[in-house]
Amino acid sequence: MASDGCRYSGRGPGRGAHRLPARGTADRPALLRRDLPTDRLRRAPAAAPARELDGGKVRWQSEFKVSHRMAPTMAVGRVALAGDAAHIHSPIGGRGMNLGIEDGYVFAACAVDALQGDLSRIADYARLRHAVDAAWVKTSRGLTGFVTDQSAKARFLKRIAPPIAASLPGLINQALKRGLGLDHPTAVR
């Protein structure tokens, strides 16, 4: 990690394309210059391969801010929220899109009944999904806080936790199930 917050993270899509995440601040977004000078590229990487790269055109860049927010309710009357409109959290764990797809699946099942006259099913959707989505937003906030915590205690825990976790297969299975979203049934009732 370079002092300007740039980090090499490996090949991007396409020939000769590489991914270079940069950490910004609230006041200063981490957008890169359109022409990325070789000296900056070489300063940035922690990974050895990038030291041999030459800078060039930045072909694509985007910016995102990590937030943790959950809508207080996922439906009011006939209006329902799903996906990132209802819940956002850090990408750690990779659950965001998958939770949104689950929202869509459950909403479809509830909407079929609502269209046949049972409007209480829209409230069912809100109840069923809020519980699952809010639980992950809470977990994600905790995980992100831990991963980004630079205190001496957190750094110590981050050093000893992986080998301990690796020796407990039950814990790994649980973590995998949670990360893959297999820790709960996708209930429609």
Ligand X SMILES: Cc1cc2nc3c(=O)[nH]c(=O)nc-3n(C[C@H](O)[C@H](O)[C@H](O)COP(=O)(O)OP(=O)(O)OC[C@H]3O[C@@H](n4cnc5c(N)ncnc54)[C@H](O)[C@@H]3O)c2cc1C
Task: State how far the Cα of 172 lies from the Cα of 185, in Å rounded to an integer.
Answer: 20
Binding mask 6-45 vs ligand X (x if CB under 6 A, - otherwise)?
Answer: ----------------------------------------
d(CA 100, CA 80): 13
> Smallest gap, in angstroms, from Cβ of residue 8 to ligand X?
16
Whole-angstrom distance, CA of residue 27 vs CA of residue 30? 10
Contact (CB, 8 A) for 74 and 133: yes
What minimum distance in Å lies between the beta carbon of 66 and ligand X? 8
Q: Judged by CB under 6 A, does residue 98 bind ligand X?
A: yes
Which residue lies nearer to ligand X by CB, 84 or 183?
Answer: 84
How many other CB atoms sit within 10 Å of the CB of residue 42?
16
In the complex with ligand X, which residue's Cβ is closer, 119 or 147?
Answer: 147
User: Which position's Cβ is nearest ligand X?
Assistant: 83
Q: How big is the CA angle at 29 (ends 82 and 22), to the nearest 5 degrees?
A: 90
The footprint of ligand X on this chain (CB under 6 A) covers a number of residues equal to 11
Residues 58-97 within binding reach of ligand X (CB under 6 A)? 64, 83-85, 91, 94-97
| Beta-ladder partners of 2 | none
Q: What is the number of other CB atoms lying within 10 angstroms of the CB of residue 28?
A: 8
Helix (H, G, I), strand (E, B) or coil at 76: strand
Residue 101 is which amino acid? I
Toward ligand X, which CB reaches closer, 37 or 91?
A: 91
Contact 132, 182 (CB under 8 A): no
Q: Of the two residues 55 and 100, which places its CB atom closer to ligand X in the complex? A: 100
Nearest distance, CB of residue 176 and ligand X, angstroms: 15
Which is nearer to ligand X, 89 or 121 (by Cβ)? 89
Positions touching ligand X (CB under 6 A) are: 64, 83-85, 91, 94-98, 100
